[in-house]
Amino acid sequence: MLHPVGPLPAAVYWRRRLLVLVLLLAVLGGGGWVGVALLGGRDGDAAAAEATATSTAAQPPALDRVVPSLASVQTPTPTPTAAPSPSEPSPPEQEAGAPCSDDVLALEVRSPGSVPAGSQPVLELVVTNTAAVPCTRVLDQELQEIVLLDGSGARLWGSNDCFPEQSDDTRTLAPGEQVVFPLTWGGLTSEPTCTAERVPVGPGQYVLRARLDTETSPDAALQVT
């Protein structure tokens, strides 16, 4: 091996061996570099993929960056407030001994509730002083009136239409005192001039309303059968 034998000079055989050795080293070196490059590329790809995944996981989604999490939003707890206790309305002011104002007078019309057609029921006008002090009021008969209305609000009868009365009646009403004025209705229709024909009021549901000068009463139901 170290001493080549052949017809050619020994230098020729040494150059051939050297060339083969160089080629072998070149082949081995090139393969090694290819393997290193392949391994390096795989490791680089894996490292890049891992870095991308880490960056993606570390950064919040775009919606989370704009809209805060509901868990981090604190809703203020409403403070319960106590309901105000209802207070009774204060009674209207009234000067003792002065004329009773409409605010301190309670007006009411009382009826039998149900009467036969053509009958002559007795109705009552009731005046009450609701003030805590006595006061005076003019209760003249020409200032008193009771009217009858039908279901649509049309006026059918008035106590002052055909038989108006007059009186001079000024009274001092004690606190809580009631004054009752009875009045008989003849069961017929009427109008303020008392010139129209008067006819019996037929069966049905009606309303009575009283008046004392400028003060009016709540309505009271009257059924004619």
Residue with more model confidence, 65 or 167: 167
pLDDT at 78 (0 to 100): 59
Asked if pLDDT for residue 205 goes beyond 70, the answer is: yes
Confidence of residue 17 (pLDDT cuts 50, 70, 90): confident
> β-strands 114-115, 220-224: how paired?
parallel
CATH code: domain 102-224 is 2.60.40.2360
Pairwise CA distance, residues 181 & 127, whole Å: 8
pLDDT at 10 (0 to 100): 67
Written as one string, the DSSP assignment of 148-197 is: EE-TT--EEEETTSSS------EEEEPTT-EEEEEEE--SB---TT--SP
**What's the gap between Cα 171 and its chain centre?**
50
Query: pTM to 2 decimals?
Result: 0.58
Cα angle 157, 163, 165; round to 5: 120
Q: What distances in angstroms separate CA 163 from CA 10, 79, 166, one per listed residue?
A: 171, 67, 10
Question: pLDDT tens digit string along 77-125?
Answer: 656 565 656 666 666 788 888 999 999 999 999 999 999 999 999 999 9
Answer yes or no: are the C-beta atoms of 120 and 168 closer than 8 Å: no
pLDDT at 86 (0 to 100): 60
Q: Any idea what DSSP says for residue 99? A: B
Task: Indicate the helix (H) or strand (E) that contains 76.
Answer: none
pLDDT at 164 (0 to 100): 86
Answer yes or no: are the C-beta atoms of 94 and 132 closer than 8 Å: yes
| Cβ within 8 Å of residue 113, ≥6 positions away | 221, 222, 223
pLDDT at 169 (0 to 100): 93
Task: Indicate the helix (H) or strand (E) that contains 29.
Answer: helix 10-58
What is the end-to-end Cα distance of the chain in Å, rounded?
152
Question: pLDDT tens digit string along 138-192?
Answer: 999 999 999 999 999 999 999 999 988 889 999 999 999 999 999 999 999 999 9
Question: pLDDT tens digit string along 30-40?
Answer: 666 655 555 55
Residue 67 dihedral angles phi and psi, to the nearest 5°: -100, 120
Q: Is the four-CA dihedral 53, 57, 58, 64 of positive or negative sign?
A: positive
